[in-house]
Amino acid sequence: MFVLNPVSGDIDKGHLEDELTTFCTERGRTAAFFHTTGEDDLGKLRQHLADHKYDAVFAAGGDGTVKLVAEALLGSDMLLGILPLGSGNGLSKDLGIPQDLDAALRLIWEYEIREIDTMLVGGHFSAHLADLGFNALVVERFCSGDTRGPGAYIRIALQEYLNYEPCTYHIETDRETFEGKAFMLTVANANTFGSNMVINPDSRLDDGEFELCLIEPFPNTAMLGILYQLYNENFDASAYTRRLRCRRASISVPGQQQVLAQVDGEPIELTTPIAIEISPRSLRVLTPAPSSGAE
């Protein structure tokens, strides 16, 4: 089954259902479809999957659609597939899934099954990355705007950067404690944002741990250097970055009972303190087979 999000990314999906039906029929598969509407999609999808069994359920959209399908599949034997059709497609990139639709569709018959960790962030499911701070604000502005694509995201980030005030965070993990200001705080089960910025190099999706990646306040003169390091998988080289590796964490923002966050690309208000925990190898995903030659 394919779960289609008609508004993800900047991609025309008008003929997608017909194309997927033809593709599957030519290869002896039967295709079914579920269309998201923005109204209780999770509840409706869970009910549909309780009434029907599929070999795999493909999220055809961006990170928000992947989050929806992944959460619906927890506790079932059905496999998650991803057709990356959103603006960022972060999790699919971390899993090595081709960003070309035809190549990604090869996962229907040529794949290996990978079990990956998932997280609960303030009680909300996450399979990839969550943010507090600057990026959460940019994602919220991006999602409420009318324009999609990388260009819109960059424009909003530049607009918000000049007036942004970092928050103070109090963090307690199962290993250490941190208190201080951060420009951005990322809860990372993976490596890379959809923009190809590597916030958490050398991490694994199936190691039973997650990382809290902090970018501390920095002078304007350091901005380009930090961006260069992030796009070259060198997060730890900056004097303004640090990572806390853990299995559990609690994050408070002194003086604030609620804070803006983004969870797998979806903006949300979270109540503090924010509890974070890992669910090891709780999601089964179709990824390219070693012999497929996918990049």
3 state DSSP class of 262: strand
How sure is the predictor about 249, in pLDDT bands with cuts at 50, 70 and 90?
very high
Based on DSSP, count helices (H) and strands (E) in the chain, helices before strands: 8, 16
Which residues have C-beta within 8 Å of that of residue 136, sequence separation ≥ 6? 260, 261, 262, 267
CA 242 to chain centre: 21
Model pTM? 0.87
- Cα radius of gyration (the chain): 19
| Amino acid residing at 108 | I
DSSP assignment letter at 291 = T
Class of domain 2-116+282-287: alpha beta
The CATH number of the domain covering residues in 124-281: 2.60.200.40
Map out the domains of the chain as residue ranges: 2-116+282-287, 124-281
Tens digit of each residue's pLDDT (9 = 90 or more) over 154-209: 778 777 788 889 999 999 999 999 999 999 999 999 998 877 889 999 889 999 99
3 state DSSP class of 100: coil
Mean pLDDT over the full length of the chain? 89
Q: Which residue has the tokens 């179709």?
A: 286
Joined together, the tokens standing for residue 121 give 């962030």
Half-sphere exposure of 221 (CA within 13 A, CB side): 0
Tens digit of each residue's pLDDT (9 = 90 or more) over 106-160: 999 899 999 999 999 999 999 999 999 988 888 888 777 666 656 667 778 777 7
Between CA 94 and CA 127 the distance in angstroms is 11
Q: Please tell me the predicted confidence (pLDDT) of residue 295.
A: 45
